[in-house]
Amino acid sequence: MPLATTPADIEALDALAQRLMGIFTRAGYERIAPAVIQPAGLFLDVVGEELRARTYVFTDPDGAELCLRPDLTVPTCRLHLERHAGGNTPARYCYSGSAFRYQPAGADRAHPREFRQAGIESFGAPDRERDDAAVLALIVEALRDAGLDGLEFRIGDLGLFTALVNALPMPERWRWRLKHQFWRPEAFRSELARLTSGAGQTMGLPRELLDRLDPADPGGAEALVIEYLDKSGHELIGARTASEIAQRLLAEAADMRETPLPAETAALIEGYVGVKAPARETVDGLARLTRGHGVDLSAGLDAYQRRLDLIGKAGVSLSGAEFSAEFGRNLEYYTGFVFEVMAPALGHKSPVAGGGRYDSLLAEVGARGQVPAVGACIHTERLLAALPEAAP
Amino acid sequence: MNGKLILALPSKGRLMEQCNTALAKAGLTITRSGPARGYKGEIDGLPGVEVNFVSSSEIAQLLRTGAAHIGVTGEDLIRETMADADERVRFLKGLGFGRADVVVAVPACWLDVRRMADLEQMSVLFRRLHGRRVRVATKYVNLTRRFFAQTGVTGYRIAESLGATEGTPAAGLAELIVDITTTGATLGANGLKVLDDGVILESQANLVASKAAPWTPELAAIEAQIAARFHAMREA
């Protein structure tokens, strides 16, 4: 990865960023420059401690906890909400700027701690598949305009996983747990194992109390919790109330009495997570996988196919693209379509661009309710490194 | 450096006393030298060694950067200081003192939380009801992040705590803690319990060698000599 060190490098990088911004603004995206320094609290509440470990957090002389933005998506969401309280006003933004990430194994050319992103974010467009396709197509147009050829694609669709879990018979809270833990493969596997075999166990929780709890009587459950605490000599300390503790124990009691998840259902979920297929064969493959299980994935699969067709109509061929059910699993805020664009010169470990749909993020940052949102960004330095010498 | 093997030892507290006892048992006599404060020393009969007395948390830093060749400090401090400790240091010998477990402890009144998986479930409900994430008070920021990530717990914030961590839940400064414990008595007295799968690390004082330090065959030979003395101490 060439760090811009010579005047020629610096000019080439600036010119490239300028060119990308030209493509984005001409497509109707408004250029913005979100603040580099962000309030740490909000960021960390949204992205969690895992990204915090890679975020430069510091305290200013007034004691305020701040951070250097680890990406530009959350800052763009914040800026949007400052302009439009509620967040549901449709808007399209583009930006070019630096993001900062601590590299645990040490920063080097392939893993810089400071790197430029040129990106687009589209909020509030109601036709999700059309907007997914438009964002991917615009990123591809920008890469081609910069002079990059031979693009390769990897795609995923977290909406298909949601559709599968929603279609399988199980209590709603179990669905929620599987979706919640989807991001962490190990925790996901143990959750699945627990629902399949361990649902009848108390897992160390006080059985004599669980047996007496009645899901139809939350008030009674709270009284039983207080009585149990009194008898065992434990005082209530901290912010959690007896009612909260009772609420959780009631869910556990309900799990204990629930019929465990059938082994073939767990096998189907695991089978889906392992799916890797050419993007265009995914629909047939998933239909085969779910045949005989009595699950109807048609809504999710129709959306997938429609998006694929719209991408094709926009002039991007995904004939060589790979679909991976697991793709997107390490990027917690994505909720639907996800993609990466690779340049052969850089290999699959250093995608030159990537993005996806994140319909929950604006709500996390403060919008009233979910707002459709999709975005993507180009790693500007990587793109420069991938370009043939003479281009553009 | 002056071509000597730099040995970093704890400069104060209980760890220093226990370390001195262990050194004596291993037949290594340390003479403090230099200015009156005596933060330098020598080992009788091993002229190629320079002893530096520093605080235990600093020892981990010196080993990480290679400013010391070997040192005695707790495994907890080594693993907290280096995410990739096994890449950066060699653990030569557990010394049998300074034993402490780094554990996840929650209020004993949380009847619904026995395991890390319960903690994740609980934290989601907590965030919905209280409008913020649960706070984990600890001085082991990195160990906590790594362990919570491994066990699939995400809905928390770390509140750094540099002392009296076990009192923070009762004081309302945090909901739970990650801290060291030997018998669990202090945790119990503060109304806390250790989660069933909440032991992050069983730590003790270790003789540790830095991979980043400037090693020569001569220095490696001295290291082997010192390590052999400690090994003999156990078998004796």
How do residues B134-186 score in pLDDT, each as one tens digit? 999 999 988 998 898 888 888 888 888 988 999 999 999 999 999 999 988 99
Confidence (pLDDT) at A314 = 94
Average pLDDT of the segment spanning A282-291:
88
Q: Which of residues 249-268 of A touch B (CB under 8 A)?
A: 249, 251-252
Q: Do B134 and B116 contact (CB within 8 A), yes or no?
A: no
pLDDT in tens, B47-77: 999 999 999 889 999 999 999 999 999 999 9
Contact A334, A47 (CB under 8 A): no
Instruction: Give mean pLDDT, residues A1-12.
Output: 76
- The string of pLDDT tens digits covering residues B74-130 is 999 999 998 889 999 999 999 999 999 999 999 999 999 999 989 988 998 998 899
Q: Residue B197: exposed, middle, or buried by beta-carbon count in 10 A (0-12, 13-18, 19+)?
A: middle
List, in sequence order, the alpha helices (H) in chain B. 13-25, 56-65, 75-81, 85-88, 116-130, 141-150, 168-171, 185-189, 217-235
The C-alpha atoms of residue B143 and residue B169 are separated, in whole angstroms, by 20
Calculate the average pLDDT of chain B: 91
Q: How many folded domains does chain A comprise? A: 3
Top-ranked range on mean pLDDT: pick from A69-78, A202-211, A323-332: A69-78
Q: Where are the domains of chain B?
A: 5-98+204-235, 100-202
Residue A62 belongs to some domain of the structure: yes
Beta bridge partners of B54: B10
**Alpha carbon distance B193, B108 (integer Å):** 5
Which of A54-58, A182-186, A244-248 holds the top average pLDDT? A244-248
Q: Is the pLDDT of residue A279 over 70?
A: yes
For residues A123 and A8, what is the distance between their CA atoms, to the nearest angstrom?
37
Helix (H, G, I), strand (E, B) or coil at B81: helix
Measured torsion, CA atoms of residues A302, A188, B176, A250, in degrees rounded to the nearest 10: 80
**Quick one: pLDDT band at residue B37, thresholds 50, 70, 90?**
low
Domain assignment present for residue A158? The answer is no
Map tokens 């790197």 to a residue.
A115
Q: Residues with Cβ < 8 Å from B74, sequence gap 6 or more?
A: B15, B56, B98, B100, B203, B204, B205, B206
Residues A240 and A359 in one domain: no
pLDDT at A293 over 60: yes
Average pLDDT, chain A: 89
**What tens digit of pLDDT does each residue of A107-156 get?**
777 778 999 999 999 999 999 999 999 999 999 999 999 999 999 999 99
CA–CA gap between residue A67 and residue A55 (Å, rounded): 7
Write down the pLDDT at residue A4.
61
Q: Does domain B5-98+204-235 have CATH number 3.20.20.70?
A: no
CB < 8 Å to A194, chain B? 117
Question: What's the angle, vertex CA A354, arms to CA A351 and CA A360, rounded to 5?
Answer: 145
Distance CA B151, CA B145 (A): 10
Q: What is the average per-residue pLDDT within A1-25?
A: 87
A73 is a domain residue: yes
For residue A46, being part of any structural domain is answered with yes
State which amino acid sits at residue B46. L
Confidence of residue A2 (pLDDT cuts 50, 70, 90): very low
- CATH number for the domain spanning A39: value is 3.30.930.10
Half-sphere exposure of B220 (CA within 13 A, CB side): 6
Q: Are A233 and A367 part of one and the same domain?
A: no
Any chain B CB within 8 A of the CB of A231? no
Q: Could you report the per-residue pLDDT of B173-208, keeping only the tens digit for each?
A: 999 999 999 988 999 999 999 999 999 999 999 999
Helix (H, G, I), strand (E, B) or coil at A292: coil
Which residues on A lie below 8 Å from B169 (Cβ)? Answer: 237-238
The C-alpha angle B121, B125, B126, rounded to 5 degrees, equals 110
Q: What is the residue-wise DSSP string for A129-155?
A: HHHHHHHHHHHHHHHHHHT--S-EEEE
Amino acid at site A279 = A
Report pLDDT for A202. 65
Place of tokens 């399209």: A92
- How many beta carbons lie within 10 A of that of residue A227, not counting itself? 13
Chain A residue numbers with beta carbons less than 8 Å from the beta carbon of B104 are: none
Residues A189 and A203 in one domain: no
CB contact under 8 A, B110 and A187: no
| List of chain B residues whose C-beta atoms are within 8 Å of the C-beta of residue A103 | none
Same domain, A68 and A140: yes
Determine what percent of chain A is predicted with pLDDT higher than 90: 58
- Is 90 exceeded by the pLDDT of residue B209? yes
pLDDT at A302: 93
Does a structural domain hold residue A335?
no
User: Do residues B104 and B147 touch, judged by C-beta distance below 8 A?
Assistant: yes
Start-to-end CA distance of chain B, whole Å, equals 35
SS3 state at A31: strand
How many whole angstroms separate alpha carbon A300 and alpha carbon A94? Answer: 29
- Is A36 found in the same domain as A133? yes
- pLDDT of A355 over the 90 cut: yes
Is pLDDT at A203 greater than 80 in this prediction?
no
Residues A38 and A78 in one domain: yes
Q: How confident is the model at residue A3 (pLDDT cuts 50, 70, 90)?
A: low
Taken in order A261, A266, A268, A273, is the CA torsion positive or negative? positive
Q: pLDDT-based confidence at A329, cuts 50/70/90?
A: low
Would residue A328 be called left, alpha or beta, if left means φ above 0 and alpha means ψ between -120 and 50 degrees? Answer: left
Q: What is the pLDDT of residue B57?
A: 81
Contact flag A186-B152 (C-beta cutoff 8 Å): yes
pLDDT score for B139: 94
CATH architecture of B100-202: 3-Layer(aba) Sandwich (3.40)
Are A11 and A85 contained in the same domain?
yes
Same structural domain for residues A127 and A249? no
- pLDDT (mean) for A219-226: 92
Tokens of A107: 């920063």
Which residues in A lie closer than 8 A to residue B124 (C-beta atoms)? 180
Q: Find out whether A258 and A252 touch, Cβ atoms under 8 Å.
A: no
pLDDT of residue A206: 83
Bin A87: left if φ > 0, else alpha if -120 < ψ < 50, else beta: left
Please tell me whether the peptide bond between A392 and the residue prior to it is cis, using omega within 30 degrees of 0: yes
Shared-domain flag, residues A304 and A172: yes
Nearest CA in chain A to B84: A105
Hey, are the CB atoms on A240 and B111 less than 8 Å from each other? no
Please tell me if residue A52 touches chain B, with a CB cutoff of 8 Å.
yes
Domain residues for the domain of A213 are: 199-257
Q: Do domains B5-98+204-235 and B100-202 have the same CATH topology?
A: yes
* Three-state secondary-structure class, residue A162: helix
Does residue A360 carry a pLDDT above 50? yes
Give the sheet arrangement for strand A91-100, strand by strand.
A30-31, A91-100, A114-123, A373-379, A353-357, A337-342, A152-157, A322-324, A276-278
A124 in any annotated domain = yes
Shortest distance between the Cα of A363 and any Cα of chain B, in A, equals 13
What letter represents residue B11's amino acid? S
Q: How confident is the model at residue A1 (pLDDT cuts 50, 70, 90)?
A: very low
A331 falls within a domain: no
Query: What's the confidence (pLDDT) of residue A63?
Result: 78
pLDDT one-digit tens code per residue, A70-115: 999 999 999 999 999 888 899 999 999 999 998 877 777 777 899 9
- Identify whether the C-beta of residue B209 lies closer than 8 Å to the C-beta of residue B89: yes
The whole-number pLDDT of residue A373 equals 97
Please name the amino acid found at residue A116: R
Q: Are residues A211 and A185 in the same domain?
A: no
- For residue A247, being part of any structural domain is answered with yes
- Is the same domain home to A43 and A84? yes
